Chains A and B, each alone.
Chain A
Protein backbone atom coordinates (compact mmCIF):
# COMPACT_ATOMS: atom_id res chain seq x y z
CA UNK A 1 0.00 0.00 0.00
CA UNK A 2 2.58 2.52 1.10
CA UNK A 3 4.72 1.59 -1.90
CA UNK A 4 1.93 2.75 -4.17
CA UNK A 5 1.47 5.92 -2.21
CA UNK A 6 5.18 6.60 -2.48
CA UNK A 7 5.24 5.87 -6.21
CA UNK A 8 2.28 8.15 -6.79
CA UNK A 9 3.57 10.98 -4.60
CA UNK A 10 7.09 10.72 -5.99
CA UNK A 11 5.80 10.79 -9.59
CA UNK A 12 3.70 13.84 -8.80
CA UNK A 13 6.66 15.58 -7.18
CA UNK A 14 8.91 15.03 -10.20
CA UNK A 15 6.10 15.98 -12.60
CA UNK A 16 5.61 19.23 -10.68
CA UNK A 17 9.34 19.95 -10.72
CA UNK A 18 9.30 19.45 -14.48
CA UNK A 19 6.25 21.69 -14.91
CA UNK A 20 7.93 24.42 -12.85
CA UNK A 21 11.13 24.12 -14.85
CA UNK A 22 9.29 24.15 -18.17
CA UNK A 23 7.07 27.06 -17.19
CA UNK A 24 9.91 29.22 -15.91
CA UNK A 25 12.12 28.33 -18.87
CA UNK A 26 9.49 29.22 -21.46
CA UNK A 27 8.70 32.47 -19.65
CA UNK A 28 12.37 33.35 -19.99
CA UNK A 29 12.41 32.76 -23.74
CA UNK A 30 11.50 35.72 -25.98
CA UNK A 31 8.11 35.54 -27.67
CA UNK A 32 9.64 35.21 -31.13
CA UNK A 33 11.07 31.82 -30.24
CA UNK A 34 8.06 30.05 -28.82
CA UNK A 35 4.48 29.22 -29.77
CA UNK A 36 1.65 31.05 -28.03
CA UNK A 37 1.58 29.42 -24.59
CA UNK A 38 -0.95 30.45 -21.98
CA UNK A 39 0.07 29.38 -18.50
CA UNK A 40 -2.65 29.47 -15.87
CA UNK A 41 -1.32 31.74 -13.14
CA UNK A 42 -3.03 29.81 -10.34
CA UNK A 43 -1.26 26.60 -11.31
CA UNK A 44 2.29 27.45 -10.35
CA UNK A 45 2.09 28.12 -6.61
CA UNK A 46 0.17 24.85 -6.24
CA UNK A 47 2.68 22.95 -8.34
CA UNK A 48 5.55 24.36 -6.27
CA UNK A 49 3.88 23.15 -3.07
CA UNK A 50 3.26 19.65 -4.43
CA UNK A 51 6.89 19.46 -5.54
CA UNK A 52 7.94 19.80 -1.91
CA UNK A 53 5.10 17.90 -0.25
CA UNK A 54 5.25 14.97 -2.66
CA UNK A 55 8.54 13.74 -1.25
CA UNK A 56 7.17 13.20 2.26
CA UNK A 57 6.47 9.47 1.93
CA UNK A 58 10.01 8.23 2.71
CA UNK A 59 9.83 10.30 5.91
CA UNK A 60 6.37 8.97 6.74
CA UNK A 61 7.74 5.46 6.33
CA UNK A 62 10.40 6.13 8.94
CA UNK A 63 7.87 7.55 11.38
CA UNK A 64 5.55 4.56 10.91
CA UNK A 65 8.51 2.20 11.33
CA UNK A 66 9.65 3.77 14.59
CA UNK A 67 6.21 4.42 16.05
CA UNK A 68 5.47 0.98 17.60
CA UNK A 69 8.71 1.12 19.62
CA UNK A 70 8.96 4.75 20.57
CA UNK A 71 5.47 6.18 20.54
CA UNK A 72 4.14 8.81 18.22
CA UNK A 73 5.85 12.02 19.33
CA UNK A 74 9.26 10.42 19.69
CA UNK A 75 8.89 8.74 16.29
CA UNK A 76 8.16 12.11 14.69
CA UNK A 77 11.12 13.67 16.49
CA UNK A 78 13.51 10.92 15.39
CA UNK A 79 12.08 10.43 11.90
CA UNK A 80 11.53 14.03 10.83
CA UNK A 81 13.96 16.13 12.84
CA UNK A 82 16.88 13.81 13.59
CA UNK A 83 17.15 11.55 10.54
CA UNK A 84 19.03 12.64 7.46
CA UNK A 85 16.05 11.94 5.23
CA UNK A 86 13.73 13.97 7.46
CA UNK A 87 16.07 16.94 7.70
CA UNK A 88 16.61 17.11 3.94
CA UNK A 89 12.87 16.88 3.39
CA UNK A 90 12.27 19.76 5.81
CA UNK A 91 14.72 21.84 3.77
CA UNK A 92 12.89 20.88 0.59
CA UNK A 93 9.58 21.86 2.14
CA UNK A 94 10.84 25.26 3.30
CA UNK A 95 12.21 26.10 -0.17
CA UNK A 96 9.04 24.89 -1.90
CA UNK A 97 6.80 26.96 0.40
CA UNK A 98 8.95 30.05 -0.24
CA UNK A 99 8.81 29.43 -3.99
CA UNK A 100 5.04 28.94 -3.84
CA UNK A 101 4.60 32.22 -1.96
CA UNK A 102 6.83 34.02 -4.45
CA UNK A 103 4.86 32.66 -7.39
CA UNK A 104 1.58 33.52 -5.68
CA UNK A 105 2.66 37.13 -5.26
CA UNK A 106 4.31 37.54 -8.65
CA UNK A 107 3.09 36.01 -11.85
CA UNK A 108 5.85 33.97 -13.48
CA UNK A 109 5.13 35.64 -16.84
CA UNK A 110 5.28 39.18 -15.48
CA UNK A 111 8.99 39.75 -16.07
CA UNK A 112 12.17 38.00 -17.08
CA UNK A 113 13.48 38.54 -13.55
CA UNK A 114 10.55 36.69 -12.01
CA UNK A 115 11.00 33.82 -14.43
CA UNK A 116 14.72 33.76 -13.69
CA UNK A 117 14.17 33.61 -9.93
CA UNK A 118 11.48 30.95 -10.36
CA UNK A 119 13.90 28.89 -12.41
CA UNK A 120 16.61 29.33 -9.78
CA UNK A 121 14.24 28.30 -6.97
CA UNK A 122 13.14 25.27 -8.94
CA UNK A 123 16.72 24.27 -9.51
CA UNK A 124 17.35 24.54 -5.76
CA UNK A 125 14.44 22.15 -5.24
CA UNK A 126 15.93 19.74 -7.76
CA UNK A 127 19.31 19.83 -6.03
CA UNK A 128 17.81 19.25 -2.58
CA UNK A 129 15.62 16.45 -3.88
CA UNK A 130 18.66 14.77 -5.41
CA UNK A 131 20.41 15.03 -2.05
CA UNK A 132 17.50 13.20 -0.44
CA UNK A 133 17.93 10.18 -2.69
CA UNK A 134 19.62 6.90 -2.01
CA UNK A 135 22.65 7.52 -4.19
CA UNK A 136 23.71 10.66 -2.38
CA UNK A 137 23.65 8.78 0.91
CA UNK A 138 25.98 6.03 -0.28
CA UNK A 139 28.49 8.01 -2.28
CA UNK A 140 28.15 11.54 -1.07
CA UNK A 141 29.23 14.12 -3.61
CA UNK A 142 29.68 12.17 -6.84
CA UNK A 143 26.35 10.39 -6.46
CA UNK A 144 24.61 13.66 -5.70
CA UNK A 145 26.11 15.41 -8.73
CA UNK A 146 25.10 12.55 -11.03
CA UNK A 147 21.59 12.45 -9.58
CA UNK A 148 21.27 16.23 -9.92
CA UNK A 149 22.38 16.19 -13.57
CA UNK A 150 19.98 13.32 -14.24
CA UNK A 151 16.99 15.01 -12.61
CA UNK A 152 17.75 18.50 -13.97
CA UNK A 153 17.96 17.17 -17.53
CA UNK A 154 14.72 15.24 -17.18
CA UNK A 155 12.97 18.32 -15.80
CA UNK A 156 14.16 20.63 -18.60
CA UNK A 157 13.26 18.14 -21.31
CA UNK A 158 9.97 16.81 -19.93
CA UNK A 159 9.01 20.22 -18.55
CA UNK A 160 9.45 21.95 -21.90
CA UNK A 161 7.46 19.19 -23.60
CA UNK A 162 4.64 19.24 -21.08
CA UNK A 163 4.21 23.00 -20.93
CA UNK A 164 4.30 23.36 -24.70
CA UNK A 165 2.26 20.21 -25.31
CA UNK A 166 -0.54 21.05 -22.90
CA UNK A 167 -0.69 24.84 -22.75
CA UNK A 168 -0.11 25.90 -26.34
CA UNK A 169 -3.08 27.68 -27.89
CA UNK A 170 -1.49 28.53 -31.24
CA UNK A 171 1.33 26.69 -32.96
CA UNK A 172 2.64 29.73 -34.78
CA UNK A 173 6.44 30.07 -34.68
CA UNK A 174 6.72 26.33 -34.03
CA UNK A 175 9.83 26.02 -36.18
CA UNK A 176 11.68 28.80 -34.40
CA UNK A 177 10.75 27.10 -31.13
CA UNK A 178 12.09 23.75 -32.34
CA UNK A 179 15.26 25.46 -33.53
CA UNK A 180 16.39 25.86 -29.93
CA UNK A 181 14.31 23.18 -28.25
CA UNK A 182 15.48 20.21 -30.33
CA UNK A 183 19.20 20.74 -29.59
CA UNK A 184 18.31 21.38 -25.94
CA UNK A 185 16.32 18.17 -25.80
CA UNK A 186 19.12 16.21 -27.48
CA UNK A 187 21.59 17.64 -24.95
CA UNK A 188 19.26 16.69 -22.09
CA UNK A 189 18.75 13.15 -23.38
CA UNK A 190 22.49 12.69 -23.70
CA UNK A 191 23.00 14.00 -20.16
CA UNK A 192 20.20 11.80 -18.80
CA UNK A 193 21.68 8.69 -20.38
CA UNK A 194 25.28 9.43 -19.36
CA UNK A 195 24.33 10.35 -15.79
CA UNK A 196 22.04 7.33 -15.60
CA UNK A 197 24.90 5.14 -16.71
CA UNK A 198 27.11 6.64 -14.02
CA UNK A 199 24.38 6.08 -11.43
CA UNK A 200 24.08 2.45 -12.47
CA UNK A 201 27.77 1.98 -11.77
CA UNK A 202 27.21 3.23 -8.23
CA UNK A 203 23.88 1.68 -7.34
CA UNK A 204 23.63 -1.37 -9.54
CA UNK A 205 27.13 -2.58 -10.42
CA UNK A 206 25.99 -6.15 -11.09
CA UNK A 207 23.52 -5.05 -13.72
CA UNK A 208 22.66 -8.38 -15.37
CA UNK A 209 22.57 -10.31 -12.10
CA UNK A 210 20.22 -7.71 -10.60
CA UNK A 211 17.44 -8.76 -12.99
CA UNK A 212 16.37 -11.27 -10.36
CA UNK A 213 15.49 -8.32 -8.10
CA UNK A 214 12.60 -5.84 -8.42
CA UNK A 215 15.06 -2.94 -8.66
CA UNK A 216 17.01 -4.42 -11.55
CA UNK A 217 13.84 -5.45 -13.34
CA UNK A 218 12.35 -1.99 -13.00
CA UNK A 219 15.59 -0.56 -14.38
CA UNK A 220 15.46 -2.86 -17.42
CA UNK A 221 11.82 -1.98 -18.05
CA UNK A 222 12.66 1.68 -17.67
CA UNK A 223 15.41 1.41 -20.28
CA UNK A 224 13.06 -0.24 -22.76
CA UNK A 225 10.47 2.43 -22.07
CA UNK A 226 13.14 5.07 -22.69
CA UNK A 227 13.82 3.51 -26.09
CA UNK A 228 10.18 4.18 -26.97
CA UNK A 229 10.51 7.78 -25.81
CA UNK A 230 13.52 8.25 -28.09
CA UNK A 231 11.56 6.97 -31.11
CA UNK A 232 8.71 9.40 -30.41
CA UNK A 233 11.24 12.17 -29.88
CA UNK A 234 12.65 11.35 -33.30
CA UNK A 235 9.21 11.83 -34.84
CA UNK A 236 8.85 15.15 -33.03
CA UNK A 237 12.27 16.59 -33.70
CA UNK A 238 12.80 15.06 -37.12
CA UNK A 239 9.81 14.35 -39.31
CA UNK A 240 7.35 16.88 -38.00
CA UNK A 241 10.01 19.51 -38.22
CA UNK A 242 10.86 18.65 -41.82
CA UNK A 243 7.20 18.59 -42.77
CA UNK A 244 6.64 22.04 -41.28
CA UNK A 245 9.77 23.35 -42.97
CA UNK A 246 8.27 22.23 -46.27
CA UNK A 247 5.21 24.26 -45.39
CA UNK A 248 2.87 21.30 -45.03
CA UNK A 249 -0.08 21.24 -42.69
CA UNK A 250 0.51 19.22 -39.51
CA UNK A 251 -0.51 19.61 -35.89
CA UNK A 252 2.60 18.90 -33.76
CA UNK A 253 0.84 19.08 -30.38
CA UNK A 254 -0.55 15.52 -30.10
CA UNK A 255 2.90 14.07 -30.71
CA UNK A 256 4.44 16.41 -28.16
CA UNK A 257 1.89 15.21 -25.64
CA UNK A 258 2.52 11.59 -26.51
CA UNK A 259 6.21 12.08 -25.82
CA UNK A 260 5.47 13.88 -22.54
CA UNK A 261 3.20 11.06 -21.36
CA UNK A 262 5.84 8.49 -22.25
CA UNK A 263 8.41 10.38 -20.20
CA UNK A 264 5.94 10.52 -17.31
CA UNK A 265 5.62 6.75 -17.44
CA UNK A 266 9.40 6.46 -17.21
CA UNK A 267 9.31 8.86 -14.27
CA UNK A 268 6.69 6.64 -12.62
CA UNK A 269 8.88 3.55 -13.02
CA UNK A 270 11.77 5.50 -11.52
CA UNK A 271 9.57 6.59 -8.63
CA UNK A 272 8.76 2.99 -7.94
CA UNK A 273 12.45 2.10 -7.99
CA UNK A 274 13.14 4.73 -5.36
CA UNK A 275 11.52 2.61 -2.69
CA UNK A 276 13.08 -0.69 -3.70
CA UNK A 277 16.28 -2.17 -2.32
CA UNK A 278 19.19 -0.97 -4.43
CA UNK A 279 21.23 -4.05 -5.31
CA UNK A 280 24.78 -3.01 -4.42
CA UNK A 281 25.53 -6.69 -4.05
CA UNK A 282 22.87 -8.88 -5.59
CA UNK A 283 23.46 -11.99 -3.50
CA UNK A 284 23.10 -10.12 -0.22
CA UNK A 285 20.06 -8.18 -1.38
CA UNK A 286 18.35 -11.39 -2.48
CA UNK A 287 19.07 -12.83 0.95
CA UNK A 288 17.47 -9.80 2.56
CA UNK A 289 14.38 -9.34 0.37
CA UNK A 290 14.18 -12.52 -1.70
CA UNK A 291 13.92 -12.94 -5.45
CA UNK A 292 11.36 -10.72 -7.14
CA UNK A 293 7.91 -12.33 -7.46
CA UNK A 294 8.05 -11.54 -11.15
CA UNK A 295 11.22 -13.54 -11.67
CA UNK A 296 9.84 -16.38 -9.58
CA UNK A 297 6.63 -16.20 -11.63
CA UNK A 298 8.43 -16.38 -14.96
CA UNK A 299 10.95 -19.02 -13.97
CA UNK A 300 9.56 -20.96 -10.99
CA UNK A 301 12.28 -22.64 -8.95
CA UNK A 302 15.00 -21.31 -11.20
CA UNK A 303 16.83 -19.20 -8.68
CA UNK A 304 19.54 -20.58 -6.42
CA UNK A 305 22.40 -18.72 -4.76
CA UNK A 306 25.07 -18.22 -7.39
CA UNK A 307 22.74 -18.28 -10.41
CA UNK A 308 24.37 -16.63 -13.40
CA UNK A 309 22.85 -15.44 -16.64
CA UNK A 310 23.73 -17.95 -19.34
CA UNK A 311 22.19 -16.23 -22.38
CA UNK A 312 20.88 -19.59 -23.56
CA UNK A 313 17.31 -18.65 -24.38
CA UNK A 314 18.27 -16.78 -27.50
CA UNK A 315 15.60 -18.26 -29.74
CA UNK A 316 12.49 -17.16 -27.85
CA UNK A 317 14.27 -14.24 -26.21
CA UNK A 318 15.63 -13.00 -29.51
CA UNK A 319 12.21 -13.29 -31.11
CA UNK A 320 10.65 -11.23 -28.32
CA UNK A 321 13.33 -8.57 -28.59
CA UNK A 322 12.87 -8.43 -32.37
CA UNK A 323 9.14 -8.12 -31.84
CA UNK A 324 9.70 -5.23 -29.45
CA UNK A 325 11.87 -3.50 -32.05
CA UNK A 326 9.18 -4.01 -34.72
CA UNK A 327 6.58 -2.48 -32.37
CA UNK A 328 8.87 0.50 -31.84
CA UNK A 329 9.30 0.84 -35.60
CA UNK A 330 5.52 1.03 -35.91
CA UNK A 331 5.51 4.36 -34.07
CA UNK A 332 6.81 6.32 -37.10
CA UNK A 333 4.34 4.32 -39.19
CA UNK A 334 1.52 5.68 -37.03
CA UNK A 335 2.75 9.14 -37.83
CA UNK A 336 3.18 8.46 -41.54
CA UNK A 337 -0.37 7.19 -41.81
CA UNK A 338 -1.65 10.17 -39.81
CA UNK A 339 -3.06 7.99 -37.08
CA UNK A 340 -3.46 8.80 -33.43
CA UNK A 341 -0.28 10.02 -31.75
CA UNK A 342 -1.74 8.57 -28.65
CA UNK A 343 -1.19 5.08 -30.07
CA UNK A 344 2.55 5.70 -29.74
CA UNK A 345 2.16 5.43 -25.96
CA UNK A 346 0.45 2.06 -26.30
CA UNK A 347 2.97 0.74 -28.80
CA UNK A 348 5.90 1.92 -26.68
CA UNK A 349 4.41 0.33 -23.56
CA UNK A 350 3.80 -2.95 -25.34
CA UNK A 351 7.28 -2.89 -26.87
CA UNK A 352 8.76 -2.29 -23.42
CA UNK A 353 6.91 -5.32 -22.01
CA UNK A 354 7.91 -7.58 -24.91
CA UNK A 355 11.52 -6.41 -24.87
CA UNK A 356 11.71 -6.74 -21.11
CA UNK A 357 10.43 -10.33 -21.08
CA UNK A 358 12.60 -11.07 -24.12
CA UNK A 359 15.81 -9.97 -22.44
CA UNK A 360 14.96 -11.92 -19.26
CA UNK A 361 14.18 -15.06 -21.24
CA UNK A 362 17.32 -14.61 -23.31
CA UNK A 363 19.47 -14.32 -20.20
CA UNK A 364 17.84 -16.75 -17.79
CA UNK A 365 15.37 -18.85 -19.74
CA UNK A 366 17.80 -21.16 -21.51
Chain B
Protein backbone atom coordinates (compact mmCIF):
# COMPACT_ATOMS: atom_id res chain seq x y z
CA UNK B 1 0.00 0.00 0.00
CA UNK B 2 2.74 2.42 0.98
CA UNK B 3 4.69 1.79 -2.19
CA UNK B 4 1.59 2.57 -4.17
CA UNK B 5 1.21 5.93 -2.50
CA UNK B 6 4.87 6.75 -3.09
CA UNK B 7 4.47 5.92 -6.77
CA UNK B 8 1.40 8.12 -7.08
CA UNK B 9 3.12 11.03 -5.39
CA UNK B 10 6.22 10.50 -7.53
CA UNK B 11 4.07 10.70 -10.63
CA UNK B 12 2.50 13.94 -9.50
CA UNK B 13 5.93 15.39 -8.76
CA UNK B 14 7.09 14.63 -12.30
CA UNK B 15 4.95 17.38 -13.69
CA UNK B 16 6.16 20.05 -11.30
CA UNK B 17 9.68 19.91 -12.60
CA UNK B 18 9.03 22.56 -15.19
CA UNK B 19 11.11 25.68 -15.69
CA UNK B 20 9.39 28.93 -14.92
CA UNK B 21 9.26 32.46 -16.20
CA UNK B 22 8.46 35.77 -14.65
CA UNK B 23 4.83 36.59 -15.17
CA UNK B 24 3.64 39.89 -16.51
CA UNK B 25 0.16 41.19 -17.00
CA UNK B 26 -0.56 44.86 -16.63
CA UNK B 27 1.46 46.88 -19.10
CA UNK B 28 2.27 50.57 -19.18
CA UNK B 29 -0.12 52.30 -21.57
CA UNK B 30 1.34 55.79 -21.64
CA UNK B 31 3.49 58.10 -19.59
CA UNK B 32 4.25 61.80 -19.25
CA UNK B 33 7.03 62.39 -20.23
CA UNK B 34 6.63 59.60 -22.75
CA UNK B 35 9.26 57.09 -23.79
CA UNK B 36 12.00 58.69 -25.90
CA UNK B 37 10.54 62.19 -25.56
CA UNK B 38 12.63 65.33 -25.27
CA UNK B 39 10.91 67.73 -22.88
CA UNK B 40 11.49 71.47 -23.04
CA UNK B 41 9.36 72.35 -20.01
CA UNK B 42 10.57 71.85 -16.46
CA UNK B 43 9.65 68.37 -15.27
CA UNK B 44 8.33 68.17 -11.72
CA UNK B 45 5.94 65.28 -12.06
CA UNK B 46 5.83 61.86 -13.69
CA UNK B 47 2.49 60.39 -14.69
CA UNK B 48 2.21 56.74 -15.66
CA UNK B 49 -1.04 55.30 -16.99
CA UNK B 50 -1.44 51.51 -17.07
CA UNK B 51 -3.80 49.22 -18.96
CA UNK B 52 -5.69 48.09 -15.88
CA UNK B 53 -6.23 49.42 -12.41
CA UNK B 54 -3.22 48.95 -10.17
CA UNK B 55 -2.76 48.29 -6.47
CA UNK B 56 -1.38 50.65 -3.83
CA UNK B 57 2.35 50.30 -3.31
CA UNK B 58 3.59 51.02 -6.82
CA UNK B 59 6.85 52.92 -7.09
CA UNK B 60 8.98 54.72 -9.65
CA UNK B 61 12.54 56.01 -9.48
CA UNK B 62 14.69 58.04 -11.84
CA UNK B 63 18.29 57.49 -12.78
CA UNK B 64 20.34 60.20 -14.49
CA UNK B 65 23.31 59.72 -16.82
CA UNK B 66 25.78 59.69 -13.95
CA UNK B 67 23.88 56.81 -12.41
CA UNK B 68 22.46 58.79 -9.48
CA UNK B 69 19.11 57.59 -8.31
CA UNK B 70 16.34 60.10 -7.67
CA UNK B 71 13.42 59.03 -5.58
CA UNK B 72 10.21 61.03 -5.94
CA UNK B 73 9.08 62.94 -2.86
CA UNK B 74 5.62 61.43 -3.08
CA UNK B 75 3.82 58.77 -5.09
CA UNK B 76 0.07 58.60 -5.52
CA UNK B 77 -1.79 55.66 -7.02
CA UNK B 78 -5.32 56.22 -8.24
CA UNK B 79 -7.17 53.76 -10.46
CA UNK B 80 -4.90 53.00 -13.38
CA UNK B 81 -2.64 56.03 -12.83
CA UNK B 82 0.54 56.42 -10.83
CA UNK B 83 1.58 60.01 -10.17
CA UNK B 84 5.04 60.76 -8.79
CA UNK B 85 5.90 64.27 -7.57
CA UNK B 86 9.59 65.01 -7.83
CA UNK B 87 9.93 68.20 -5.81
CA UNK B 88 12.39 70.53 -7.56
CA UNK B 89 12.36 70.47 -11.37
CA UNK B 90 14.82 68.10 -13.00
CA UNK B 91 18.14 69.42 -14.27
CA UNK B 92 18.76 68.94 -18.00
CA UNK B 93 19.96 65.54 -19.10
CA UNK B 94 18.90 62.03 -19.96
CA UNK B 95 16.83 60.04 -17.51
CA UNK B 96 15.65 56.50 -17.13
CA UNK B 97 12.48 55.97 -15.14
CA UNK B 98 12.12 52.50 -13.60
CA UNK B 99 8.65 51.58 -12.42
CA UNK B 100 7.35 48.72 -10.32
CA UNK B 101 3.65 48.10 -9.85
CA UNK B 102 1.17 45.40 -8.92
CA UNK B 103 -1.72 44.86 -11.29
CA UNK B 104 -5.19 44.28 -9.94
CA UNK B 105 -4.87 40.61 -10.90
CA UNK B 106 -2.14 40.39 -8.27
CA UNK B 107 0.76 40.06 -10.65
CA UNK B 108 3.83 42.21 -10.09
CA UNK B 109 5.15 44.11 -13.10
CA UNK B 110 8.19 46.26 -13.75
CA UNK B 111 9.63 48.17 -16.65
CA UNK B 112 11.37 51.36 -17.65
CA UNK B 113 11.32 54.23 -20.12
CA UNK B 114 13.73 57.00 -21.11
CA UNK B 115 13.31 60.70 -21.66
CA UNK B 116 15.46 63.80 -21.99
CA UNK B 117 15.00 67.17 -20.34
CA UNK B 118 16.13 70.31 -22.22
CA UNK B 119 14.60 73.11 -20.21
CA UNK B 120 17.80 75.15 -19.85
CA UNK B 121 18.17 74.26 -16.20
CA UNK B 122 21.45 72.74 -15.16
CA UNK B 123 22.21 71.45 -11.75
CA UNK B 124 24.90 73.20 -9.72
CA UNK B 125 28.39 72.13 -10.69
CA UNK B 126 27.26 70.45 -13.85
CA UNK B 127 28.39 71.99 -17.15
CA UNK B 128 25.94 71.74 -19.98
CA UNK B 129 27.51 69.28 -22.32
CA UNK B 130 28.59 70.92 -25.56
CA UNK B 131 28.48 67.69 -27.47
CA UNK B 132 24.99 66.99 -28.76
CA UNK B 133 23.85 63.80 -27.20
CA UNK B 134 22.48 60.99 -29.22
CA UNK B 135 18.77 60.63 -28.99
CA UNK B 136 18.04 57.72 -26.73
CA UNK B 137 16.23 55.09 -28.66
CA UNK B 138 12.83 54.22 -27.29
CA UNK B 139 13.46 51.32 -25.04
CA UNK B 140 11.47 48.17 -25.51
CA UNK B 141 12.48 44.62 -24.95
CA UNK B 142 13.54 44.14 -28.50
CA UNK B 143 14.45 40.67 -29.43
CA UNK B 144 17.31 40.99 -31.86
CA UNK B 145 16.65 39.03 -34.99
CA UNK B 146 18.17 35.67 -34.13
CA UNK B 147 20.72 34.19 -36.46
CA UNK B 148 19.37 31.22 -38.35
CA UNK B 149 21.30 28.20 -37.23
CA UNK B 150 21.78 25.39 -39.65
CA UNK B 151 21.76 22.67 -37.06
CA UNK B 152 19.34 19.81 -37.47
CA UNK B 153 15.97 20.76 -36.11
CA UNK B 154 15.47 20.04 -32.40
CA UNK B 155 12.04 18.67 -33.32
CA UNK B 156 13.73 15.55 -34.66
CA UNK B 157 15.38 15.00 -31.28
CA UNK B 158 12.10 15.52 -29.48
CA UNK B 159 10.47 12.98 -31.77
CA UNK B 160 13.35 10.59 -31.11
CA UNK B 161 12.88 10.93 -27.36
CA UNK B 162 9.15 10.37 -27.78
CA UNK B 163 9.74 7.23 -29.85
CA UNK B 164 12.15 5.93 -27.26
CA UNK B 165 9.87 6.59 -24.29
CA UNK B 166 6.92 5.10 -26.16
CA UNK B 167 8.94 1.97 -26.83
CA UNK B 168 10.00 1.72 -23.20
CA UNK B 169 6.60 2.44 -21.66
CA UNK B 170 4.47 0.42 -24.09
CA UNK B 171 6.99 -2.41 -23.93
CA UNK B 172 6.98 -2.36 -20.14
CA UNK B 173 3.20 -2.25 -19.98
CA UNK B 174 2.36 -4.87 -22.56
CA UNK B 175 5.33 -7.21 -22.39
CA UNK B 176 4.78 -8.55 -18.92
CA UNK B 177 2.34 -11.29 -18.21
CA UNK B 178 -1.07 -9.81 -17.53
CA UNK B 179 -2.54 -10.30 -14.10
CA UNK B 180 -4.89 -13.23 -14.16
Contact = CB atoms under 8 A, between A and B. Distances in A.
Interface string A336-366: 0111101101110110011001000100010
Interface string B101-115: 011111111010000
Interface in A261-311: 261, 264-265, 268-269, 272, 275-278, 284-285, 287-293, 297-301, 303-304
Nearest to B61: A69
Contacts of B19: 293
A179 interface: no
Contacts of B180: 338
A261 B11 CA distance: 8
B56 A276 contact: no
Contact of B11 (A3, A265, A299, A354): A265
B158 A300 contact: no
A347 B8 CA distance: 15
B18 interface: yes
A269 B173 CA distance: 25
Contacts of A346: 169, 173
Given A78-B55, A78-B56, A284 B27 contact: yes
Contacts of B146: 300-301
Contact of A320 (B57, B145, B154, B162): B162
Interface in B138-168: 140-141, 143, 145-149, 151, 153-155, 158-159, 162, 165-166
B162 A337 contact: no
Nearest to A68: B100
Interface in A63-96: 65-66, 69-70, 75, 78-79, 82-85
Contacts of A340: 173, 179
Interface of A is mostly: helix
B68 interface: no
A214 to B, nearest CB: 6
B174 A288 contact: no
Interface residues of A, number: 76
Interface residues of B, number: 56
Contacts of B55: 62, 78, 82-85
Given A275-B23, A289-B21, A357 B16 contact: no
A261 B8 contact: yes
A353 B153 CA distance: 18
Contacts of B165: 350
A353 B11 contact: no
Contact of A65 (B15, B102, B105, B158): B102
B103 to A, nearest CB: 8
A85 B25 contact: no
A289 B178 CA distance: 49
Contact of B162 (A7, A62, A268, A357): A357
A330 B172 CA distance: 13
A300 B154 contact: yes
B173 A289 contact: no
Contacts of B179: 338-340
A323 interface: yes
Interface string A306-339: 0000000000100010010001001001100111
Contact of B22 (A134, A289, A323, A330): A289
Given A3-B20, A7-B16, A339-B178, A323 B106 contact: no
B7 interface: yes
B102 A316 contact: no
B59 interface: yes
A8 interface: yes
Q: Which 9 A-B pairs have the closest CB atoms?
A: A3-B20, A85-B106, A78-B57, A301-B146, A65-B108, A137-B105, A288-B24, A343-B173, A83-B55
Interface of A: 2-4, 7-8, 11, 58-59, 61-62, 65-66, 69-70, 75, 78-79, 82-85, 132, 134, 137-138, 214, 257, 261, 264-265, 268-269, 272, 275-278, 284-285, 287-293, 297-301, 303-304, 316, 320, 323, 327, 330, 333-334, 337-340, 342-343, 345-347, 349-350, 353-354, 357, 361, 365
Interface of B: 7-8, 11-12, 14-16, 18-25, 27, 52, 55-57, 59, 100, 102-109, 111, 140-141, 143, 145-149, 151, 153-155, 158-159, 162, 165-166, 169-170, 173-174, 176, 178-180
Given A269-B15, A292-B21, A349-B14, 9 more contacts: A3-B20, A79-B102, A83-B106, A277-B23, A298-B155, A300-B146, A300-B151, A323-B166, A340-B173
